[in-house]
Structure formats: C-alpha cells, structure tokens
Amino acid sequence: MRHPNDHSPANDRSPTFVVEQQWIGRIRAGDEAAFKALYEHFSDAMFAFAFSTLRSRTDAEDVVHDVFLAIMKQGPAWHVDGELRAYLFRAVYNAIATRRRHLRVELSSHESMVREAGTPTEWVYRGRTDDALDERELADALARAIETLPPRTQQAYRLVREHHCSYATAAEVMEISVHTVEIHLVRALKALREQLAAWRSR
C-alpha cells in the first residue's frame, strides 16, 4: 500500500496530472482540441529549450514542430512514460541530436563543393575554353536562375555571394545557424550549376 504522501507520477492526482492524463487519452483518440491545448501549454517552453541549444529560431521552431508532428502521427499508439513535461523535453532533446547528426552527414559529404565552387563565370569558362563569353548574357541567365531558388536559399546565396557576408553574418541576419547557411549555399550552388549547364555546351 502506498504512503498517502507518495507523489510519484503513478499516484499523483494533482489537477495538473489529471488534466495531462486527459489530454493524453483524448489525443490518442484523435481529439484535435486536446492536441491544440497540449501545444499551447508546452510549445513556448519547448521552443525556449531548443533555442538555447540551437541558437536559431527557425531550427528551434522546426524541432518543436517535428515533436508534435510525431505525436500526431502516432495516434492511438502514442504512449507517455512518466511526467508529460519530461517526456516532451526529452523528445526535443532527441530531435536536436538527430538534426545535428543529419547536418554533420550532409555537410561532410558536400563541404568540398562549397570550397571549390568558384563563381558562375568560372563554371562556364571551365567548360568553354575556345569561344568568347558573352558576360552580359551570362549575368542575365544567372539572375534568372537565382530568382528560381527557394526564398531562404536565395537569401543565403545573395548575402554570401553578392553582398560578401561571412557565413556567421548571414546566419545572424537570417536568424539561423551557420550550418544551415552552409546547407543553403550547397543547395544554391548545385541548382545554379544545373541551370547554367547549357552554357558549357555552347
């Protein structure tokens, strides 16, 4: 028999515990109002925790979104061991760790591309050594290609390549991590190379 003063999660009948258990049961049953209540109650604290580690508003928001999306996808299979707050913060911690692993893999596989990318003009010169290059046409083609980039990737490219900002400065301006700026640059350079490939065959 438990002591009356035992306040372990299994025996805690405080109003907060009762409400959280109700949320869990209703969310497992597909209750959207309960899911919204859970989000509104915990998301700010989860964001603050993620931001304190990632130092990027965008990345922190993505992590919190990923945690709640995972809960939604689990549906009736969602299970919480122990205190709900601890469960959510542990989920944020794990999401951050996973995100960092993915960043390390992506950056290590593409870091040489960033170092050796050169400029769009150099890409074309490398492929065309016999013909004169119409730089105005290339500039127009490059401008059109840049406009097709996703907004955040385009912003990172312009800050670093056109305005000569360091990655750290671009990260501060965009309120993202330096790693995320690097990833945007990798994606931008890959897309622009593909779009300017036709110049090599002229």
Quote the pTM value: 0.51
Tell me the per-residue pLDDT of 27-53, one tens digit each, with 9 for 90 and over. Answer: 999 999 999 999 999 999 999 988 887
pLDDT digits (tens, 9 = 90+) for 1-17: 333 344 444 445 677 88
Mean pLDDT of 137-150: 81
Higher pLDDT, 166 or 110: 166
C-alpha span between 155 and 171 (Å, rounded): 11
Residue 163 phi/psi, 5° resolution?
Answer: -100, 0
Query: Does the pLDDT of residue 137 top 50, yes or no?
Result: yes
In angstroms, the Cα distances linking 199 to 78, 124, 141, 147, 195 are 54, 6, 9, 18, 9
pLDDT above 50 for 150: yes
Segment among 16-25, 67-76, 112-121, 130-139 with least mean pLDDT: 112-121
CA-to-CA distance for 151 and 13, rounded, in angstroms?
49
pLDDT on residue 64: 95
